[in-house]
Amino acid sequence: MTKTPESESSYDRRRLDQWLAGEARADGADRRDLLRLLAAAGLASAVPLGLSAPAVSAAAGPGIVKPLPPERFIIHGTNAETRFEALAETGHTTPVSHFFVRNHTTTPRVDAKTWRLTVWGDGLTGKARTFSLADLKRLPSVTRTAFVECAGNGRNFYTTQQHQPASGTAWTLGAIGTARWRGARLADVLRLAGLSHRAVDVMPRGLDDEYLTSTGTNYGRVRRPMPVSKALDDVLLAYEMNGAPLPPDHGYPVRVLAPSWIGISSIKWVGDIEVSATPLYSPWNTDLYRLFGEAYPAEGSAPLTRQTLKSAFELPWNVTLPAHRRHRLTGRAWSAAGAITRVEVSTDGGGTWRRARLHDPSYRGTWTRWSVPWTPDRTGPAELLSRASDSSGRTQPETTVHNTQGYLFDAVVRHAVTVAA
Ligand code: MTE
């Protein structure tokens, strides 16, 4: 089923207008963020009080269950980034052993036997409805190969390439993995729960701990609304990853999989889904996951939806390669807007470009492996560049317009290597 998603700006504008009219709720949203949202409208004094919840401590440390060998992962606080070079030993899909983990707190241990999904809210025609895992498995299943990619993937390059620091985890390019997901359609579950024609937003919430920011604000449990148009389009309630039950770190027993959208839309360990007849806000669509900065309005951009376009080499950073030998440079390219149509590679810092060979049939929301031969004839430092284009007509730019939280980096990355005699 294909529906035209509501344009991002009209989605956001409508929610803001409705919120101002007292029709939308913002449980747990930081009041400061709502004030900022309202600043442009000159209505900050209209913000109701009592929007913040009492603080609860979130556990510190990686808190990830699976092994994280250093040759495959870089640890960033509670998160594990995949080393892109480690993907060279994997196929088109990313095994769990190599798949990045982005946890706001720690991986919870959920018992699938007692696990229930509660679907509730005034966007339903009747009362709340609960589903067991067996209930979901009885529904028609859909299998789909798709990447999950963090909105902040590539953030580190705002600092290192553009000299424009950005707050948040300093991911290089490994906050992405592609898996074969299997699950029930969220659309089927919503219809069974009695979706009302008045429903506008759908907000899945995780069972992991409440998230406490570094400044001590309790954002509550991880949750982010999506418009009903996306929920009914292609979103899955996934219970399998690469043909096996979801592993604990990736959302066992059930996670949301929102293809092509930024990773935060794919809520892990989903416990309940609010279906609302009024627009919803959470910190994950007010303070976080919008674009703020010089190029954006004071209240930020509309909430981010789709990921962008990127490519990467499966090579360690600053690796030394012998001169006068033929190397096979490999990498991956991906886009949330269309199929990858072309990857070009430059081995002279961007002076000249050659086309790489594409190795996978390409689809929106997955990646395509590519390769190009290279026989370096000059020793010393070199910069390798890859530049992908997709069927929507976009090509990776030289720079990305900066935003303070470093989201959606899509510029060509300059990969440093050394050529030795
Ligand atoms: N869901 C819950 N409940 N808690 C989380 O911390 N992190 C989100 C999303 N879903 C998160 C979550 C983010 S920001 C990303 S990028 C993806 O999960 C990462 O999925 P992965 O850990 O399976 O790679």
pLDDT digits (tens, 9 = 90+) for 46-68: 222 222 222 223 333 479 999 99
Q: 341-372 b/e with 16+ CB inside 10 Å = b?
A: bebbbbbeeeeeeeebebebebbbbbbbbbbb
Number of Cβ within 10 Å of residue 95's Cβ equals: 14
pLDDT score for 12: 45
Give per-residue pLDDT as tens, 365-382. Answer: 999 999 999 999 999 999
Instruction: Please tell me if the CB atom of residue 221 comes closer than 6 angstroms to any atom of ligand 1.
Output: no
For the cut 90, the answer to whether the pLDDT of residue 355 exceeds it is yes
Which residue minimizes the CA distance to atom 8 of ligand 1?
Answer: 264
Q: Predicted confidence band at 106 (pLDDT cuts at 50, 70, 90)?
A: very high
Furthest-apart CA atoms within the chain: distance in Å: 73
Q: What confidence tier does 256 reach under pLDDT thresholds 50, 70, 90?
A: very high
- Token look-up 């919840």 returns 53
284 lines ligand 1 (CB under 6 A): no
**Long-range contacts, stretch 18-23, CB < 8 angstroms, 24+ apart:** 18/278, 18/279, 19/279, 19/281, 20/46, 23/278, 23/279
- In whole angstroms, give the CA distance from residue 289 to residue 106: 20
Task: For the chain, give every domain's residue range.
Answer: 8-285, 309-420
Residue 312 confidence (pLDDT) above 80: yes
**Residue of minimum CA distance from atom 22 in ligand 1:** 101
Average pLDDT for 100-124:
98
Residue 134 has a pLDDT of 98
Under a CB-based contact definition with an 8 Å cutoff, are residues 309 and 396 in contact?
Answer: yes
- Note the pLDDT of residue 214: 86
Looking at residue 389, its pLDDT comes to 98
Q: Is 205 exposed, middle or buried (0-12, 13-18, 19+ CB in 10 A)?
A: buried
Q: Is 64 in the pocket of ligand 1 (CB under 6 A)?
A: no
pLDDT per residue as tens digits for the range 141-150:
999 999 999 9
Task: Give the residue from 311, 310, 329, 304 showing the smallest Cα distance to 319.
Answer: 329
Does the pLDDT value for residue 131 go beyond 80?
Answer: yes
Alpha helices in 199-309 (DSSP H): 228-233, 283-286
Ligand 1 centroid – CA 30 distance (Å): 20
Cβ contacts of 330 within 8 Å, gap of 6 or more: 88, 313, 314, 369, 370, 371
Which residue has better confidence, 54 or 198? 198
Query: What is the distance in A from the centroid of ligand 1 to the CA of 102?
Result: 5
DSSP string over 359-404: -S---TTSEEEEEEEE---S-EEEEEEEEEEETTS-B--SS----T
Residue from 96, 98, 103 to probe ligand 1 pocket by mutation (most atoms less than 8 Å from CB)? 103
CA angle 416, 420, 421 (to 5 degrees): 160
Q: What is the CA(39)–ligand 1 centre distance, in A?
A: 30
CATH hierarchy code of domain 309-420: 2.60.40.650
Q: Which of 47-51, 81-85, 196-200, 342-346 has the lowest mean pLDDT?
A: 47-51
- Average pLDDT on 310-320 reads 97
CB-based burial label for 165 (10 Å; 0-12, 13-18, 19+): middle
Apex CA 196: angle with CA 336 and CA 188, to 5°?
Answer: 55
pLDDT category of residue 387 using cuts at 50, 70 and 90 = very high
Q: pTM score, two decimals?
A: 0.88
Rounded to the nearest whole angstrom, what is the distance from the C-alpha of residue 151 to the centroid of ligand 1? 11
Ligand 1 atom nearest the C-alpha of 221 is: 3
Tell me the backbone φ, ψ of residue 332, rounded to 5 degrees: -140, 150
> What's the chain's average pLDDT?
89
User: Does ligand 1 come within 6 angstroms of the Cβ of 267?
Assistant: yes
pLDDT at 9: 40
Average pLDDT over residues 259-273: 98
Selected residue with higher pLDDT from 398 and 3: 398
CB 358 within 8 A of CB 366: no
Confidence at residue 267, expressed as pLDDT on a 0 to 100 scale: 98
**C-alpha to C-alpha distance for 44 and 341, rounded to whole angstroms:** 47
CB atoms within 10 A of CB 388: 28
Distance set, CA 300 to CA 155, 213, 290, 305 (Å) = 18, 20, 6, 14
Instruction: Report residue 226 as tokens.
Output: 């999506």
Encode burial over 228-260: b for 16+ CB neighbours within 10 A, e otherwise.
Answer: bebbbbbbbbbbbbbeeebbbbbbbbbbbbbbb
Q: pLDDT digits over 204-219, tens only?
A: 999 999 999 888 999 9
What CATH number is given for 8-285 in this structure?
3.90.420.10
Q: Which helix (H) or strand (E) holds 192?
A: helix 186-192
User: In this structure, which residue's CA is closest to atom 13 in ligand 1?
Assistant: 264
- Among 261, 264, 282, 285, the mutation site with the greatest number of ligand 1 atoms within 8 A of its Cβ is 264
Segment 176-194 shows an average pLDDT of 98
What is the structure's pLDDT at 34?
A: 42
Choice between 16 and 289, residue whose per-residue pLDDT is larger: 289
Which atom from ligand 1 is nearest to the alpha carbon of 151? Answer: 16
- Does any ligand 1 atom lie closer than 6 A to the CB of residue 208? yes
pLDDT for 3 equals: 32
Summarize the confidence of residues 283-301 as an average pLDDT.
Answer: 95
Tell whether ligand 1 has an atom less than 6 A from the beta carbon of residue 206: yes
**pLDDT value at residue 354:** 98
Residue 353 has pLDDT above 90, yes or no: yes
pLDDT tens-place string over residues 5-49? 334 344 444 444 444 444 444 444 443 444 344 333 333 332 222
Q: Which stretches does DSSP call E strand in 5-115?
A: 73-76, 79-82
Per-residue pLDDT at 62: 79
What pLDDT shows up at residue 8?
A: 38
Would the CA dihedral through 291, 292, 293, 295 be positive or negative?
positive
Judge contact between 24 and 46, C-beta under 8 A.
no
